Amino acid sequence: MSPAQPGTAETHAEPPVALVPQTAAPWRRRVAAHALAEARTVLRNGEQLVITLVLPVLLLVGLARTTVIDLGTSDRIGLVAPGVLALAVMSTAFTSQAIATGFDRRNGVLRLLATTPLGRGGLVAGKVAAVLLLEALQMTVLVGIALGLGWRPHPAGLPAALGALVLGTAAFTSLALLIAGTLRAEAVLAVANLLWVLLLAGGGVVLPVEMLPGPLAGLVTLLPSGALGEALRTALTDGTFSWGAASVLLAWTVVLGAGTVRLFRWS
């Protein structure tokens, strides 16, 4: 018996005259296609995966399960989990996004996409959607592990936490695009990674501001990293919304967003 024929492959020829005015795919499909393409690129890239997922997981488990660093509390997971969620946002919305955009800019990808029906607006929308998609994935993994480690977040604080995540994403994505749109690709790579390390160490993301030396503490609450960390800790530990931290994030978004709109260079 011969195997089934693979069908009449490729019998349809190209139409002889293709000159009807072409139309774009619907806006949602274009943005979704771009978001999925960007998310796939991150997930396929080893270094991006390390900074967005592997390191946050290691920090979550390491800080919750070991006592190498004195956290000054017995509820280690309760303190660490919100901070690691904040770090994950910083990884995806800032470091990973800045590097991807910086290299896409250098390689002419931004310019080419701007000539397709996606356009510049669709490109930005697709990037935001990709960041949110990746964050959803990160949250699923990190929250799952934290719950497994005995984390019991305050249920009343969930809407506040969601709001803080959105504000933090907006602020850090603005910073990513500002850097990616103004510096050379290699400089973007260096700055994005360096800032991630510096903010992790002393930016009030994972560890609360109170643990930093006196004068630094006040300054750090005004950084987007410190504000996002505090907003998530307040929401998930106390169940309340931190208006102060939210205002700081909003202010950063406005300033960085305006800077991006003015200074971003597409080529």
Partner 1 sequence: MPTTTSTQRAGTPGGAADAGSAGSAGAVVASGLVKHYGSRAAVTGLDLVAPAGAITALLGPNGAGKTTTVECCEGLRRPDGGTVRVLGLDPVRDARRLRPRVGVMLQDGGLPSTVPAGEALRHLAAMYARPRDLGELSERLGLTAFARTQVRRLSGGQRQRLALAAAVIGRPEVVFLDEPSAGMDPQARLAVWELVRELRAQGVTIVLTTHQMAEAEALADHVVVVDRGAVLAAGTTAHIVGDAGAIRITLRPPDGASSTRSDEAHAASLSASLAARLLGGDGPGVTTTATAGVLEVRGAADPDLLHEITGWAVREDVLLASVTCGRRTLEDVFLDLTGRDLR
Site residues, partner 1 (CB under 8 A): 10, 12, 14, 16-19, 21-25, 29-30, 33-34, 37, 40-41, 44-45, 103-104, 107-109, 111-119, 266-267
Q: How far apart are the first and last CA of the chain?
A: 59
Q: Give whichever of 29 and 184 is closer to partner 1, judged by the CB atom.
A: 29
Cα angle for residues 192, 54, 260 (degrees, 5° grid): 25
CB 34, min distance to partner 1, A:
7
Residue 242 vs residues 50, 144, 237, 238: alpha-carbon distances, Å: 30, 25, 12, 10
Cα(235)–Cα(105) distance, integer angstroms: 37
Cα(188)–Cα(258) distance, integer angstroms: 19
Q: Give whichever of 107 and 240 is closer to partner 1, judged by the CB atom.
A: 107
Q: Give whichever of 78 and 181 is closer to partner 1, judged by the CB atom.
A: 181
CB 69, min distance to partner 1, A:
35
Q: Give whichever of 121 and 144 is closer to partner 1, judged by the CB atom.
A: 121
Instruction: Name residues whose C-beta falls within 8 Å of residue 69's C-beta, 6 or more positions apart in sequence.
Output: 63, 207
CB 215 within 8 A of CB 209: no
Q: Give whichever of 97 and 221 is closer to partner 1, judged by the CB atom.
A: 97
CB 108, min distance to partner 1, A:
4
CB 121, min distance to partner 1, A:
9
CB 178 within 8 A of CB 256: yes
CB 225, min distance to partner 1, A:
28
